[in-house]
Amino acid sequence: MKKIILLAVILTGGFLSQTANAQVTFRVNISSQPIWGPSGYDHVEYYYLPEIEAYYYVPTRQYIYLYNGRWITRSYLPQRYRDFDLYNTRKIVVNDRKPYMRHNEYKSKYSNYRDHQNQQSIRDSRDSRYYQNRQHPEYNNWKMNQRNQKHNKQREHQKSRGNK
């Protein structure tokens, strides 16, 4: 009888721990955010660009904008925005699914707000977590530092194994 109770407790504990693990999700996509994106965000799905009423989808690195009354997805902005400066425009971080489907809501909320001077771009950030972005000016230094740290850890590990 004790074995059955013990087995039931172990199984119940196993199921509960699996449920708890499944509920915890923490996503980070710092290295895939565009270098012109605002710093300060660990995870971004979309940027809304109110000045041109377009969206940028970070996971696929594509713009979403209206063309002839339809939302289209492209890896580039349309020709009319060829001189648009992404570094000096306001970017709104949106972590909702398909925000362009609720465009009127985003447009009314953000179209009149023009102050974007306080948004520092990832390119200009000195926060070391952004150095892993391949486009960041400090990426090569960060990469070399990572290699050196890995090499030093391997050397220390070999030393400690040699002393045993």
Q: Residue 3's pLDDT is what? A: 59
121 phi/psi in degrees, rounded to 5:
-75, 160
pLDDT confidence bin for 46, thresholds 50/70/90: very high
Is there a contact between 87 and 62 (Cβ–Cβ < 8 Å)?
no
Amino acid at 12: T
pLDDT confidence bin for 134, thresholds 50/70/90: confident
pLDDT in tens, 53-108: 999 999 999 999 999 999 999 999 999 998 899 999 999 999 999 999 999 999 99
Q: Is 74 or 158 the better-scoring residue by pLDDT?
A: 74
DSSP 104-145: HHHHHHHTT----TT--BGGG---GGGGGSTTSTTHHHHHHH
Pairing of strands 70-74, 92-94: unpaired
Q: Is 142 or 27 the better-scoring residue by pLDDT?
A: 142
Q: Residue 12's pLDDT is what? A: 57
Which value, in Å, is the radius of gyration of the alpha carbons in the chain?
A: 24
Q: Residue 24's pLDDT is what? A: 47
Task: For residue 67, list its beta bridge partners.
Answer: 70
Q: Is the pTM of this model over 0.85?
A: no
pLDDT in tens, 1-27: 665 655 555 555 555 555 444 444 557
